[in-house]
Amino acid sequence: MTSSSERFETWWSEYQRTGGLGEIQLEKTRDQIKLLFGKPDEERQLEFLWIDGVPENPVINSWKFGQVQFCFDEKGRLRRVFVDMENPNPRVILE
């Protein structure tokens, strides 16, 4: 699950240990997430956010830190966080 962001890796270790999300919550903006973790490892432009194998909710931007994907809506607000293991039903952390 390695990311180039040390701050993300610290958060991820804490999440795995406790299940706590810390400052991560829905409605956070891309800028707020960037302040917490720094630059993402990967940025993607997506047409839809897939929920249970069904395309829903248009998504403008998706950021990845390691295998964790942060999905933002068209206004740049956080809508979903999940572990992306190239699985049609990824492990959802927050939605």
Nearest to 50 by CA among 92, 78, 15, 88: 88
Residue 45: predicted pLDDT: 77
pTM for the predicted model, two decimal places: 0.80
* Within-domain flag for 70: yes
* Within-domain flag for 73: yes
* Within-domain flag for 45: yes
Residue 73: predicted pLDDT: 85
CATH number at residue 51: 3.30.1450
Range of the domain at 24: 6-94
* Within-domain flag for 25: yes
* Within-domain flag for 1: no
Phi, psi torsion values for 34, nearest 5 degrees: -65, -35
Render 58-79 in DSSP notation, one character per residue: --SEEEEETTEEEEE-TTSBEE
* Beta-bridge partner residues of 29: 77
Say how far apart CA 55 and CA 95 lie, in whole Å: 15
Number of domains making up the chain: 1
Say how far apart CA 83 and CA 15 lie, in whole Å: 12
From first to last of its 95 residues, the chain has per-residue pLDDT tens of 578 889 999 999 999 999 999 999 999 999 999 999 999 999 887 666 666 666 666 656 889 999 899 999 888 999 999 987 666 677 889 98
